[in-house]
Amino acid sequence: MALLSHAAPSYCDILIIINPNNPTTELTKEAVKNIFLGRLTRFPDSDLRVSPIEIKQDNPQKHRFYKIIANKSVNKINRYWARYLFTGKMSPPKKLLSNQEIIDEIMNNPSGVSYIDSKDVTSSVKVVLTLQEE
């Protein structure tokens, strides 16, 4: 039992998920960071554009995600986007209300990419990176 829980992703893991038809099989932490800061516009190994999607609320999942990928607070990320949101130079990640909505969107959007708690993942999406708290 102890072995099993060690092998499976722990409760705290955050998974980077994409559409199952997307040819990409894995993403680096750096690529994920750049996608969510608007600094990477296409998947690294294909010409497919990226459409980042995330949860609207500033919840623990979001705090952990930005802490792990960029060592940034959600406040700093919000400040970063405030300047682009109103200038129209680039668009922040699309915001959805629940992990279920995120999974539905990823299933329907070939270019979608998002992050969710491992407990909420389903087999209908493809996991390309597992983030663990350091």
Partner 1 sequence: MLPRIIILMLAVSFSPFARSFDYSLSGFLSLSAGILDEEGYLYADIDDSLSFNNDTILGGQISGQFTDNFSATIQVIARGYSADDSDNYKPAIDWLYLTYDITPELRVRAGRMATPYYLVSEYIEIGAAYPWIRPPFEVYDPSAAPLKSFNGIDAVLRSNWKDWFIISQFIFGQEENSTFLYEINIHRIAGLNLSFSKNDFSIRLAHFVSDVSLSVFLTETFLNLFRTDNPTPVEAKLFDLVDSKHVKHFYSSIGVNWDNDTWFVYSEYNQATSEAGFTPTGEGMYLTVGYRIGKFSPYLTRADFRLLLGSDLKKHILNNSSELPFLGPLFLNPIEDNKRYQRSIALGVRYDITNAMSLKFEALNATSQRGSVGLFTSKDSSITFAPPIRVYSLALDIVF
Query: How far does Cα 16 stand from its chain's mean position?
Result: 5
**Nearest 10 degrees: Cα torsion 122, 97, 79, 19:** 30
Nearer to partner 1, 75 or 122 (CB): 75
**DSSP letter (8 states) at residue 73:** -
Q: Which of 2, 6, 21, 89 touches partner 1 (CB under 8 A)?
A: 89
The answer to whether 126 contacts partner 1 (rule: CB under 8 A) is: no
Q: 50, 35 in Cβ contact below 8 A?
A: yes
**Which amino acid is present at 103?**
I
The answer to whether 50 contacts partner 1 (rule: CB under 8 A) is: yes
- Using DSSP's 3-state secondary structure scheme, residue 119 falls into helix
Q: Which of 7, 21, 86, 134 touches partner 1 (CB under 8 A)?
A: 86
Only one of the segments 11-19, 20-28, 75-83, 120-128 lies at the binding site for partner 1 (rule: CB under 8 A); that segment is 75-83
The answer to whether 57 contacts partner 1 (rule: CB under 8 A) is: no
Q: 128, 16 in Cβ contact below 8 A?
A: yes
* Binding residues for partner 1 (CB under 8 A): 34, 37-42, 49-50, 58, 72-73, 75-76, 78-79, 82-83, 85-90
